[in-house]
Amino acid sequence: MKYIIYCRKSTDTDDKQVQSLDSQETELSRLAEAHGLEVVQILRESMSAKSEGRPVFKKALEMITKGKADGIMCWKLDRLARNMIDGGKVMDMLGKGVIKEIRTFEATHLPTDNVLMLAVHFGMADQFVRDLRSNVKRGNRAKLEHGGWPSRAPLGYLNDKATKTVQICPVQAKYVVRAFELYSTGSYGLAEIAEILYDEGLRTKSGKKIYRNQIQRLLDSPFSVGLMPSNGKYYEGNHTPLISKALYDKVQNVMHSKSRPRTQKHFFPLRGFLSCETCGCTLTASLKKGHQYYYCTNGKGGCEEHKSYLREQALYGIIGEILGNLKLSDRKIELMYKAAQERVGADTYAEQALATLKNHLGTLQARESRLLDAFLAEQITKELYDEKSREIFNDKVSTKKQLNELELKQPKFTLEPVKKIFEQASASQKEFLEGDDAKKRKVVEELLWNLSLKNKKVASIKYKSPFHILAKVPKNADFSLWCPQ
């Protein structure tokens, strides 16, 4: 009699999958050798048996039907089937004698055996899957109702294994915000946004590009505003939103609007951003003889400015000059930073509380290390190790949470981000003049609300907050007076 060894395992981790399949194959091969059984082929499958449609399982049955093998060897019957459709096929083939034997480590099943026992085995496996699915759904629903996310965190977030919560991903979050901001303008298609984000550094965990369909799902999902979609319902999440509801609604309007602008063949970085001071219409752009020209659309009629074309290089020079108004020397930025440090330095209570928590965290880590050493040296039992390890872990989670909350309440916590804003403003002129078209657009969008032109000159500028304050700082301001002598 000829046998097929069928090994199957379904798990979330590839290395565990391989390890389990290897173990099944080794043990079943030993069993065949011990009983002198002829094995014609070993089949391995990494797929769940809760539903029908497994290709390797189908191949095994086809080989037996064609007479290439007579029996099947498997670890347990639930390796063959965990649903009644596949289980029914196996029982039918065994009952008709097509499968002459099914051999597991627990028992041998023959065509002459009572099929009821097989039905019980497959029925129990099927019911286990049904119960598991029901329990998982119930657990997921309960977690959603309490504001938790039961699945893998979407783009812009990550799963915190310690707290079982979803936290903002410090690497991806800015790209999510950027995607919403770009699309809300109506000037960018999904593929364009994917390209821009890739050029700016966005990658998947495996280092690959994010494609347009992923951008589509990102923009369509309300997760980034704090809502969790599941089975047609929306739950309020405990996670921190990345964008405002107003921005999300604007993106949805653009996405579902029939009048949404089509993707442009040529990208004009400043189109839709500039306006005409005379009539208030938006400036558009066109490509002529290899050069970009910006001009008034004259949408209201009667505006003479639409006859005046401003070449891209001249416009870039104008904007570069505007961004130069935000430039501060490194020395001035450092002086302001030191002055702010001096002003918040009197908060010694918060400093002492932080130091106490950090010392306690260090003590816990040392205790954890000593506990592990004692366990490895067999000085304590595994039960005691597990108990004390859990206590230390819970204490660490609580301490880290207190640290984060205290740091967020500290004035000093905001100093570094503020310093980065000054540095960003100071670097904007260089980044704009030396950057590509996408970079130029990004710089302008981050620092300016609008720029109106008249007679090819700047008529008015509206800076975004807090950059409007920097624009008013006198060039000869003496920041050294801010610091105590």
DSSP output for 85-97? HHHHHHHHHHHTT
- How is residue 300 annotated by DSSP? T
Tokens standing for residue 185: 């303008």
pLDDT at position 131: 57
Strand ranges across the sheet with 38-45: 38-45, 2-8, 71-73, 101-103, 108-109
Q: According to the model, what pLDDT value does residue 101 have?
A: 93
Q: What is the dihedral of CA 381, 383, 388, 390, to 10 degrees?
A: 150
Contact 433, 395 (CB under 8 A): no
The token pair at 227 is 């809502």
**Whether domain 157-256 has CATH 3.40.1350.10:** no
* Report for 235-244, 257-266, 464-473: range of highest mean pLDDT: 235-244
For 5-36, b where at least 16 C-beta lie within 10 A, e where not — what string?
Answer: bbbbbeeeeeeebeebbeebbeebeebbeeee
pLDDT for residue 333 is more than 60: yes
Give the list of residues 6+ apart from residue 404 with CB closer than 8 angstroms, or none.
none
User: Positive or negative CA dihedral for 180, 181, 182, 183?
Assistant: positive
pLDDT surpassing 90 at residue 39 = yes
Task: Provide the pLDDT confidence category of residue 7 given band limits of 50, 70 and 90.
Answer: very high
pLDDT of residue 485 exceeding 50, the answer is no
Percentage, residues of the chain above pLDDT 90: 16
Q: What is the mean pLDDT of residues 92-96?
A: 87
Q: What token pair was written down for 461?
A: 């500028």
Enter the DSSP assignment of 229.
E
pLDDT given at position 484: 47
- Tally the residues of the chain: 485
pLDDT of residue 2 exceeding 90 = yes
**pLDDT > 50? residue 241:** yes
**Between the CA of residue 337 and those of 412, 414, 417, 421, 464, what are the distances in Å?**
10, 11, 11, 12, 21
Q: Tell me the C-alpha distance between 109 and 352, whole Å.
A: 72
* Position 304 pLDDT exceeds 90: no
Q: Which of 118-127, 150-159, 200-209, 269-278 comes out lowest in average pLDDT?
A: 118-127
User: Which of 27-31, 244-248, 333-337 bottoms out in mean pLDDT, i.e. has the lowest?
Assistant: 333-337
Q: Which residue has the higher pLDDT, 411 or 362?
A: 362
Residues 308-320 pLDDT 10s:
888 888 989 998 8
448-454/274-276 β-pairing: parallel
Half-sphere exposure of residue 296, counting CA atoms within 13 Å on the CB side? 24
- CB-side neighbour CA atoms (13 Å) of 35: 16
What element of type H or E holds 457?
strand 457-463
Query: Average of pLDDT values for 174-186?
Result: 89
pLDDT digits (tens, 9 = 90+) for 216-228: 999 999 999 988 8
For the chain, which residues make up each domain, given as ranges?
A: 2-131, 157-256, 348-409
pLDDT value, residue 17: 47
For the stretch 56-63, contacts whose Cβ atoms lie closer than 8 Å and that sit 24 or more positions apart, written own/partner, are 56/6, 56/8, 57/6, 57/8, 57/81, 57/86, 60/4, 60/6, 61/89, 61/90, 61/93, 63/4
The label of the residue with tokens 């003496």 reads: 478
Would you state the CATH architecture of domain 2-131? 3-Layer(aba) Sandwich (3.40)
Q: Is the alpha carbon torsion for 110, 113, 114, 118 positive or negative?
A: negative
When pLDDT is cut at 50, 70 and 90, the band that residue 177 belongs to is very high
Distance CA 333, CA 211 (A): 39
Q: What is the pLDDT of residue 176?
A: 93
Q: Is the model more confident about 93 or about 484?
A: 93
* pLDDT band of 72, cuts 50, 70, 90: very high
Condensed to tens digits (0 to 9), the pLDDT of residues 112-168 reads 876 666 666 665 655 655 655 666 676 777 788 888 898 889 999 999 988 889 999
With contact defined as beta carbons under 8 Å apart, do 297 and 281 qualify? yes
Written as one string, the DSSP assignment of 253-286 is HHHH-TTPPPPPSS--TTTTTEEETTT-PBEEEE
Please report the pLDDT score of residue 400 as a whole number. Answer: 78
DSSP for 151-191, written as a single string: S---TTEEEETTTTEEEE-TTTHHHHHHHHHHHHTT---HH
Q: What is the average pLDDT score of the chain?
A: 80
Predicted local distance difference test score (pLDDT) of residue 335: 65
**Pairwise CA distance, residues 67 & 179, whole Å:** 58
